[in-house]
Structure 1
Amino acid sequence: MATFALIHGAGDVGWYWHLVEAELRARGHDTIAPDLPCDDDKAGLLEYTDTVVEAVGDRRGLVVVGQSLGAFVAPLVCQRMPAELLVLVAPMIPAPGESPVDFWSNTAWPGSSGDDELFYQDVPPTLADEARRRGKDQSETRLGEPSPLRAWPDVPTRVVLCRDDRLLPPDFVRRVARERLAAVPDEIDGGHTPALSHPLDLATLLDRYTKG
């Protein structure tokens, strides 16, 4: 069975993954979903990576999963420790040396729909309210710094797009995945936060990856 290191996106916490964790653990996997120091002005991508590496410890059979901004952290974790698989979910797919701030212009991001519910558009209201309560204020102080990623890690990589995502639309993710990773994404239903809106679908896909 695998150990899943689950990396949340901007302004979020590890709780975001709790429904997916329950599904994966029911299938016999181990999971770690640390809170990144994303509200700390002194913390950048290296500190985010340190947090994940420390949480994983000496566990093996590692599958690293990064959602949204967490996709900037996930390949850095794979450079620091042995990983069997890297999975990017509703991702900002980074280029080596790119800052999160520059991602938007470098990829010709089409912009959002202007909907206020970009993150929780299809999440049950009670669950969405809890997510907002637990969320953090994302510090942008160091998001303009170049990523320390120098080359994509030599780890099999899968991309998962969400068909209803209004922040990172499907056509956009398909194009960036093709241009940056020569990858064709797998697709699931849901908006930008599928771990809350479609946890069973996401967990089933992640479990399937471990079985080759």
Structure 2
Amino acid sequence: MTTFVLIPGAACGPWHWHLLDAELRARGHDVVSVELPCEDDTAGLEEYADAVVDAVAGRRRLTLVAHSFAGFTAPLVCARVPVDALVLLAAMVPVPGETPGEWWAATRHPDSAVRRAGRAAQRAGAGAAQGEMPESAVPGSAADPFFQDLPPALAAQAAVRWRRQSDTPATRPWPMTSWPPVTTRFLLCRQDRLFPAPFLRTVVADRLGTVPDEMEGGHFPMLSRPAELADRLERYRRTVTR
């Protein structure tokens, strides 16, 4: 039985995986939805990796699914515990010595307004759902970079579940000297406003030397298309050489 380890992006937690979690369990898999110390201003990338390693203790046949900012954390986990496969889902791809804060300019992210709106929402945490964010980042608005393809009620719930995201890990250089030797797949979403598809195609080609897989949806396919995403993860699992 595969254990899918779901690692959230910035300002997120297990709730943001709950629909995918249910789909994977219904297919007979074990699932670990990781709680990261994102509000802890003493926690950096190594501490995020510690949280994942602690959460999977005693489990085997691990497939890590790393969303967004978790692209900086998941490879650190692969270097510390046996992992069958790593799936990067609309994720950041780091290079040695780069901080997450430097990543945006280094990869030439194309839209500074989207970036500012996203960071404002994440820094505000759950208060963002109560009007404490720029209008451009309000869930369901025309410029929402996160939840634009969710039903309004689900988008509102997702925003209420935002956590405050400390800036500490964004200042810590990625400590690995190379990508870990683990089977890695990248899945982007064609309607993603935070990380647009043409941008991610270039990032994946430049940094991983591969062509990403693609699906429909915005930045949170685990909420907008959980069954389709579960199907894809199952296909990835079946292709892993043991």
Q: TM-score, with normalisation over the residues of structure 1?
A: 0.96
Pair 1:189-2:213 in alignment = no
Query: In 2, distance between residues paired with 1:25 and 1:150?
Result: 35
Query: In 1, distance between residues paired with 2:85 and 2:99?
Result: 23
Deviation at 1:112, TM superposition (A): 5.6
Residue 44 to residue 92, structure 1, CA distance change in 2 (3 Å):
same
Unaligned runs of 5+ in 1: none
Pair 1:205-2:225 in alignment = no
Match for 1:138: what amino acid?
A: Q
Correspondence for 2:119: none
Contact 1:9 1:67 in 2 (8 A): yes
Query: In 2, distance between residues paired with 1:21 and 1:105?
Result: 33
Structure 1 range deviating more: 134-143 or 32-41 = 134-143
Contact 2:64 2:74 in 1 (8 A): yes
Structure 1 range deviating more: 157-166 or 24-33 = 24-33
Match for 1:53: what amino acid?
A: V
Query: In 2, distance between residues paired with 1:101 and 1:136?
Result: 19
Correspondence for 1:168: 195
Contact 2:37 2:48 in 1 (8 A): yes
Pair 1:41-2:41 in alignment = yes
Structure 1 range deviating more: 112-121 or 127-136 = 112-121
Structure 1 range deviating more: 115-124 or 22-31 = 115-124
Query: In 1, distance between residues paired with 2:14 and 2:102?
Result: 25
Could you report, residue by residue, the CA deviation over 1:66-112 in whole angstroms, capped at 9, with x for unpaired residues? 00001111111111100010110011111122110010011111126
Could you report, residue by residue, the CA deviation over 1:123-170 in whole angstroms, capped at 9, with x for unpaired residues? 122222222222211111341110122211000100000000011000
Pair 1:9-2:28 in alignment = no
Correspondence for 1:20: 20
Percentage identity across aligned positions?
51
Q: CA RMSD in A?
A: 1.2
Superposed, 1:1-212 pairs within 5 Å as 1-111=1-111, 114=114, 115-116=136-137, 117-212=144-239
Could you report, residue by residue, the CA deviation over 1:30-62 in whole angstroms, capped at 9, with x for unpaired residues? 110111111111111111110011000110000
Structure 1 range deviating more: 72-81 or 133-142 = 133-142
Q: TM-score, with normalisation over the residues of structure 2?
A: 0.85
Deviation at 1:113, TM superposition (A): 6.3
Query: In 2, distance between residues paired with 1:142 and 1:59?
Result: 27
Query: In 2, distance between residues paired with 1:148 and 1:32?
Result: 25
Match for 1:94: what amino acid?
A: P
Deviation at 1:182, TM superposition (A): 0.8
Match for 2:176: what amino acid?
A: L
Q: Helix, strand or coil for the counterpart of 2:186?
A: strand
Unaligned runs of 5+ in 2: 115-135, 138-143
Match for 2:21: what amino acid?
A: E
Q: Which runs of 4+ in 1 moved over 6 A?
A: none
Contact 1:112 1:168 in 2 (8 A): no
Q: Helix, strand or coil for the counterpart of 2:199?
A: helix
Query: In 1, distance between residues paired with 2:170 and 2:110?
Result: 20
Query: In 1, distance between residues paired with 2:169 and 2:51?
Result: 16
Query: In 2, distance between residues paired with 1:138 and 1:16?
Result: 15
